[in-house]
Amino acid sequence: MTNMRIAIAGVTGRMGKKLIQSLPHIEGIVLGAAFVRPGSIVTGIDVGQVVGEKILGIKLIDNLNTAINDFDVLIDFTNPAATLTYIDFCCKYKKSMVIGTTGFTEYEKKKIFLASENISIVLSPNFSVGINVVIKLLEKITTVMGNYADIEIIESHHRNKRDAPSGTALAMGEAIANIMHWDLNKKAIYNRGIHSGKRLANTIGFATIRAGDIIGEHTAIFADIGERIEITHKASSRITFAHGALKAAIWVNNKKPGIYSMQDVLALSTL
């Protein structure tokens, strides 16, 4: 069986390095190309040298057009502006994508959904198996407690994370809001000031922590008088995100155009 070829964007970043390091542990997939930003000082250097691995025989490139025939699926964990550039390229040459970038504006989200009319895309704020199981569990809890419990979502990440709340926290909120038939934009409370007043019913509160080197922790709380349910997921290594993204790349290859989630990849709809 021929291995499926992937390209990785942002190889010098945290997730880019983990993806390269995880490749030997996932069967049926090989590295075909590795991208860095235009003008990067590491352009032309072997990927393995940059990520601390053995020589891989693939050089880092900053020109997408030189790798048109070298990959089937592009994995992107960069930033919104770069992601849109990669999307335009992949649409032009009919390449599937796995997108783990977060912090998109509504306009940028629309661009991604328009692209999905031409190519298959797995779009997820979190590729770990555990967090996707948690999101499915939140849907179940919401059907029982959503009408009367106070709902809070707390997320913690490292000091350098730019978007807040995290994409995963927002995905958790969306899952709850969808079950309740709410518009999250109208029900989310992102900032409680010193004099915010009494907690409003039928809202979802968000709290954000940015500190040290926390990889990712998310807790959802459903609290009533006398009892509460707390569901927490803690990521101790980015390797779990990398493995999930590589599995998503294998899954999305040759799928018909559309937007897919990690829930689709893991077939969690039957839970």
Give the domain ranges of the chain.
Answer: 4-123+238-266, 129-235
- Calculate the alpha carbon distances from 47 to 44, 73, 120, 266 in Å: 9, 18, 27, 30
Q: Can you name the CATH fold of 129-235?
A: Dihydrodipicolinate Reductase; domain 2 (3.30.360)
The reply to whether 181 belongs to the active site is: no
What are the tens digits of pLDDT across the range 97-156? 999 998 899 999 999 999 999 999 999 988 999 999 999 999 999 999 999 999 999 999
pLDDT interval class at 53 (50, 70, 90): confident
Q: Which of 111, 161, 187, 255 is catalytic?
A: 161
* Binding site feature residues: 10-15, 37, 100-102, 124-127, 158, 167-168
Structure confidence at residue 135 (pLDDT):
94
pLDDT at residue number 267: 85
Point out the catalytic residue in the list 18, 157, 218, 247.
157
Which pair of tokens denotes residue 57? 């025989």
Average pLDDT, the chain: 93
How far are the Cα atoms of 52, 213, 233 from residue 243, in angstroms, in the given order? 18, 20, 17
> Residue 261: which pLDDT band, with cuts at 50, 70 and 90?
very high
CATH architecture of 4-123+238-266: 3-Layer(aba) Sandwich (3.40)
Tokens of 237: 């290594």
pLDDT at 262 over 80: yes
Has residue 271 got a pLDDT over 70?
no
- Cα separation, 205 vs 220, whole angstroms: 10
Is 157 known to be catalytic?
A: yes
Residues flagged as binding site for NAD(+):
10-15, 100-102, 124-127
- With a pLDDT cut of 90, the percent of the chain lying above it is 80
Band (pLDDT 50/70/90 cuts) for residue 65 is: very high
Helices 80-93 and 106-115 cross at an angle (nearest 10°) of: 20
pTM of the predicted model as reported, rounded to 2 decimal places: 0.83
